Amino acid sequence: MKFIIFGIFIVYCITTVFGAVKLTDSAKSYTLENEYAVVVIDKTSGYLTSLKLKGNNQEFLNRSYIDANGGKVYFKPQSNKVIKNTPDHVEVSFIDKNGSGGFALDWEVRYTMLSDTKGLYYSLTHKHPSNYGATSYGESRLVIRLKSDVFDYLQVSDEVHEIMPSAADQDKCVVLGPKEACRLPSGKVLHKYDYSVDILKHQVHGFSSSKSGLGCWYVSPSYEWKVGGAYNRDLACHQGGTDSLHIMYTSGTHYGSGDTSPAAGENWNKVYGPFLIYLNKAANPQAAWNDAKSVAATESAKWPYAFVSQPEYVHQRGTVTGTLAIDDPLTNSHLPLQDAVVVLVQPESASEPIPKKQWRHYSFWTHSLSGNTVNFTIKNVIPGTYQLRAWSKGVVGEFIYDKLVTVTAGGSTNVGNVTFKEKRAGPIAFEIGIPDRTAKEFKHGDHFNQWGLYYQFPKEFPNSVNYEVGKSDYSKDWNYAHVSIPGKGGKYEPIPWNIKFNLNQIPKDTAVLRVSIAASSFSALSVSLNGGKSSPEINDLVDDAAIRRDGISGIYRELEFKLNANEFKTSQNVITLNCRKVGGYNENYQFDGILYDHIRLEVPGGSVSNNSAISINTNINNNNNNNNNNNGINFGGSTDTINSNNNSFGNMNNNNNYNNNFGNINNNNNNNNFNFGNMNNNNNNNNFNFGNMNNNNNNNNFNFGNMNNNNNNNSFNFGNMNNNNNNNNFGNMNNNNNFNFGNNNGNVMNKATSENIQMNTNNNNNNNNNNNGNGMCAQMYAQCGGRNFNGPTKCCSGTCVVTNEWYSSCV
């Protein structure tokens, strides 16, 4: 008797916690219902006709539909059936056979509700049997048109979210160019592409209510099925009158991804999804968004879903592991990786396009990897053979592993150490931007998803871009897009951009201008040096629509332009970028152009420091050595004179050195020293010293515990005493004319620079002396003076660090 009562109690608890899912099968519709949600699906169309939270009478939907090619082809099922109907799992299917919707293709749409599903799962399967003819489509999608008077808050990422205008205001919206944009009475411009998403890290997008806190979200734990996969960017949400359009593109070509095009006789199928249509209610839109993100994490842990019963869906997966490194080919040292990505795609072939356009197969990836070497794991990979590719912020290029990777069901494939080499023809003379496959670091790049930025170029750059390396700041002086400008007769005309730079030495061989393209549209590119003959034009840049659709990345390309050494000068040089239109919709088309990712000039002949290969030498009394024991460590030497690029330990009486020293004494006229425990150093620049004493006339020092230092600039010193004429010091005593923090008995603290913190006491007579103007100071992260580069020698912010004879930068 006690056992029976206990058993009844257990069943009751399970029912209370999980509830039961119920199917109501009527003549015209299916109703799926659990304790969280109630969903109605029309039997004729296969479309959702009602979405509600259980116990809440607010209807979410105006209507929904499933279509392809922008509404030109609609899903039209000929049959429907119940796949499963249990207290834990209800699933219904709708099938559209060959030709009914206009495609030589079978469609199957499945809706699934589990007992604990806070909404509904959706999946689409496309099948093309071998007896079907050729067919092609650019996009397929599920569109849920929510009530815009309720769902007025759009959010596609942590950064992109806003309350949307009313239907009445949208009725007054004036159409602009491109036609998807319009201007509201308030002056704000609506452009649906401003709410696009990058698939690489994306999982959630949707709408919520600023009034009730209701939310409707697409939550996808995997986009392995997405055309272009990790490379893709696609439209997600926008608004249209009384509808808030909540869209999931199972296939989409808005930013250059490929059409799905099975050939006649090709046997092909693919499952898109399942993904969750998640319904929630929270205190406000931000809380609703945070809740949806937490659900995304929960759903990701469930992937691949155990409940899926389609025979085309693969449950048994494998794992790929390895270690990634990318080397500098000139030094064989590992380059630091930031936010690196490793992907598994299909090798390019006559039948397989570039990964961005691949549609036949699934792709897999991992991201957010950082370090000099990084271990990576790609989970839940469908068995098959793949090509491994990788890229990283801060490193130029996309890298392809020279062996194919085979994945087996239930297996783990360890590819071991995967080490790539960055392409580099010589030491760097200059670089513009940050290699990250986007143009985000340039002017307007931090708010790129804004209509009409391309129209501002002629006003903001009336004389085009004339970028002076070492003086210009690419976040202000380099536009995010190289576009055409209005010309005669309403036509748009190309305008060259110039890069000006000084060299103190002619390259010893052919130099390379390496240009990374983040996106392009109907454009060709050539370059010239000092007004000479232009290089051969590269005119096969693919249109990815990123400019006209307010994107910041599209189809990545790395271009290489060779420049003859004898065309350089030992004074100012000018490289000209010639970008011109080669296509477009009409002669007045204004959206052609290029988004540059990064530009770098590589020049043979300079020396390069290498911190990876370490040798120990015990030289003593070495004089007049340049690049002596370069990349090595000198141990126990003394009386070394005019040594360059040495990493020394325990040296004494060294003069005129570019050393990385430990425990040196009486060093004079040294540059670029990373010293510990030095004493009596004079006239040193760019030192990172610890425990030094009696240093004079030093610039750009990061010193700790120094005493009696005079005439130092741009120092970030801690615990120094009796320093005069120093800037940007912390914890110093008896300092004059400094920008200091926490100093005593100093004279006048500057309180308005980004490096300073207030709360100093008894400081007087300090000025904002940051060496601006007259070409003598470089902006933060710009290039400063190098031994063969005749540019500014001081940084307005940060420290000028010499990397090699050609290149130095503010860090």
- The sign one gets for the Cα dihedral 156, 299, 229, 367 is positive
- Gap between the Cα atoms of 766 and 783, Å rounded: 28
Q: Is the pLDDT of residue 659 over 50?
A: no
- Beta carbons within 8 Å of 668's beta carbon, 6+ residues apart: 654, 655, 656, 681, 682, 683
Q: What residue segments make up the domains of the chain, in order of their start?
A: 8-302, 318-421, 428-602
- The sign one gets for the Cα dihedral 783, 788, 792, 796 is positive
What is the pLDDT at residue 645? 41
Within 10 A of 98 (CB to CB), how many other CB atoms are there?
A: 17
- Beta carbons within 8 Å of 131's beta carbon, 6+ residues apart: 265
DSSP assignment of 605-647 equals T--B--SSS--EE---S-BS-SSTTTTSEEES--S-BS-EEEE
What is the pLDDT at residue 29? 99
- Beta carbons within 8 Å of 544's beta carbon, 6+ residues apart: 255, 256, 519, 520, 521, 551, 554, 555
Lowest mean pLDDT across 7-21, 347-361, 377-391, 548-562: 7-21
What is the mean predicted confidence (pLDDT) over 647-664?
Answer: 48
Vertex 147, ends 145 and 151: CA angle to 5°? 105
Residue 531 CA to its chain's centroid (Å): 35
pLDDT tens, residue by residue, 602-655: 999 754 333 222 222 333 333 333 343 333 333 333 333 333 344 444 544 444
- Architecture per CATH, 318-421: Sandwich (2.60)
Lowest mean pLDDT across 381-390, 466-475, 484-493: 484-493
CATH fit for domain 8-302, picks 3.30.70.260, 1.10.579.10, 2.70.98.10, 3.30.70.2190: 2.70.98.10
Q: Check: CATH 2.60.120.260 for 428-602?
A: yes
Q: Is there a shared CATH topology between the 318-421 domain and the 428-602 domain?
A: no
| pLDDT tier, 15 (very low <50, low <70, confident <90, very high otherwise) | very low
- Gap between the Cα atoms of 308 and 503, Å rounded: 64
What is the pLDDT at residue 12? 34
What is the pLDDT at residue 490? 76
206: helix, strand or coil: strand
Q: Is the pLDDT of residue 419 over 90?
A: yes
If you average pLDDT over every residue of the chain, what do you get? 82
Q: Is the pLDDT of residue 330 over 70?
A: yes
- Gap between the Cα atoms of 380 and 304, Å rounded: 7
What is the mean predicted confidence (pLDDT) over 506-516?
Answer: 97
| pLDDT tier, 103 (very low <50, low <70, confident <90, very high otherwise) | confident
Buried b (16+ CB within 10 A) or exposed e, 426-465: bbbbbbbbbbbbbbbbbbbbeebbebebbeebeeebeebb
Task: Give the whole-number percent of the chain exceeding pLDDT 90.
Answer: 67
- Gap between the Cα atoms of 618 and 397, Å rounded: 40
- Beta carbons within 8 Å of 775's beta carbon, 6+ residues apart: 470, 471, 791, 792
- Beta carbons within 8 Å of 319's beta carbon, 6+ residues apart: 377, 378, 379, 380, 381, 407, 411, 412, 413
Kindly provide the residue ranges of all beta strands, DSSP E only, lying in 282-411, ordered along the sequence.
318-328, 333-334, 337-345, 364-371, 374-381, 384-393, 399-400, 405-407
What is the pLDDT at residue 41? 99
Kindly provide the residue ranges of all beta strands, DSSP E only, lying in 422-571, ordered along the sequence.
428-433, 466-468, 482-483, 485-486, 492-493, 497-502, 511-521, 523-529, 557-563
**Structure tokens belonging to residue 580:** 């011109």
Q: Is the pLDDT of residue 388 over 90?
A: yes
What is the mean predicted confidence (pLDDT) over 484-494?
Answer: 86
- Gap between the Cα atoms of 460 and 255, Å rounded: 27
Q: Is the pLDDT of residue 505 over 70?
A: yes
What is the pLDDT at residue 73? 86
Task: Give the whole-number percent of the chain exceeding pLDDT 70.
Answer: 72
Cross-strand bridge partners of residue 276? 121, 219
What is the pLDDT at residue 687? 52
Q: 574 or 652, which is more confident?
A: 574
- Gap between the Cα atoms of 689 and 676, Å rounded: 5
Within 10 A of 34 (CB to CB), how many other CB atoms are there?
A: 24
- Residues listed for the chain: 811
pLDDT tens, residue by residue, 716-762: 555 555 555 444 455 444 444 444 444 444 433 333 333 332 333 33
> Do 308 and 317 touch, CB atoms closer than 8 A?
no
Cross-strand bridge partners of residue 390? 342, 399
